Amino acid sequence: MFAGIGGIDLGFEQAGCEIVWANEIDEYACKTYRLNFGDSFLVEDDIKNISTKDIPQFDILTAGFPCQAFSSVGLLQGFDDPRGNLFFEVIRVVKDIKPRVVFLENVANLLKHDDGNTFKVIKGLLEELGYTVLFQIMNAKEYGNLPQQRNRIYIVAFKFKKNLSKFKYPDMVPLTRTAFDLYDKEKQEDKYYMNRHRMWDRMMEYMTERNRVYRFTDWGLSRSREGICPTLLAAMGSRFERIPFFYDDYSVRLMTPRECARMQGFPEEFVLPETNEKQVYKQIGNSVSVPVVYRIAQNIVEALS
């Protein structure tokens, strides 16, 4: 559910799972999904229009349900936001099909939202359906060997205790590369360079270290930790300044869509549409750190086997 461009699907596929059904409402995300997974099982529609009778049986339900309602960079409206209410569609599908495992991914702030009441509702509804709920906040730079600051909550709910007892979250792994290892070394197209930016003089005063990645926030310029990329956001598709930028050998430039995909752990062969670059930035910011999902998926598969 809420398949996006298929980041979660890709992680589970890499762990040996077969995708039997997927749903996404965004037409641009669907185009990217089809380029990489085909069109045989993707249903492009509002989940509210889909009857569970039209969904095939499956073992694992994955859902990166919309996080903007709970994000600390959003409006924090939670279930009062229509996007937050989409979680109840997850419950509807789980109730009718009763999968062996439910896998959910969201922003780390979900745990604290509304003084913890939002998460209490999510956990409580799954428990009412007979599931045991586990959760852990995991950072891409600590669990995926990705040099990106990206904290997310990963919820795994098991229907049967015999499987639950065999599951554990992956251990931390050492970070062996920096963001600059994932950036292309050759000169990029002129549109990515920021020499004529209206804040250029201010940027030059602030950007004193070449081993850091920078970004504009609502409060001005910010710099990441040394060699680490700041969290990639869906807002990259709507605001030029939300795309991280850095010094390359030629000047200061934005991360390209391919570099952003790389920072999320998408393989080089993953196809990005060549049209509507803003949508591609948005899609990648909305997606997941694939290696982190893959490592959790491996452990889920092992627990089920």
What's the number of domains the chain is made of? 2
143-190 tens-digit pLDDT: 999 999 999 999 999 999 999 999 999 999 999 999 999 999 999 999
Shared-domain flag, residues 20 and 162? yes
Check if 30 is active-site: no
**What whole-number percentage of the chain has pLDDT above 90?**
85
- Among 64-78, 90-104, 236-250, the range with the most confident prediction by mean pLDDT is 90-104
Among residues 106, 28, 46, 48, the alpha carbon closest in space to that of 74 is found at 106
Shared-domain flag, residues 192 and 143? no
**Catalytic pick from 17, 30, 67, 229?**
67
Strand pairing report for 42-44 and 22-24: parallel
| CATH code (residue 113) | 3.40.50.150
What does the pLDDT read at residue 117? 87
What does the pLDDT read at residue 95? 97
Q: Residue 291 above 70 pLDDT?
A: yes
Q: Residue 197 above 60 pLDDT?
A: yes
Shared-domain flag, residues 59 and 162? yes
User: Computed over its alpha carbons, how large is the radius of gyration of the chain?
Assistant: 20
Shared-domain flag, residues 51 and 117? yes
Collapsing DSSP states into helix, strand and coil, what is residue 192? helix
What does the pLDDT read at residue 104? 97
pLDDT tier, 74 (very low <50, low <70, confident <90, very high otherwise): very low
The DSSP code for 239 is -
d(CA 130, CA 136): 20
Domain span at 28: 7-173+287-304
Residue 1 lies in a domain: no
Residue 87 lies in a domain: yes
The DSSP code for 270 is S
pTM, to two decimals: 0.92
CB 177 within 8 Å of CB 226? no
d(CA 53, CA 96): 9
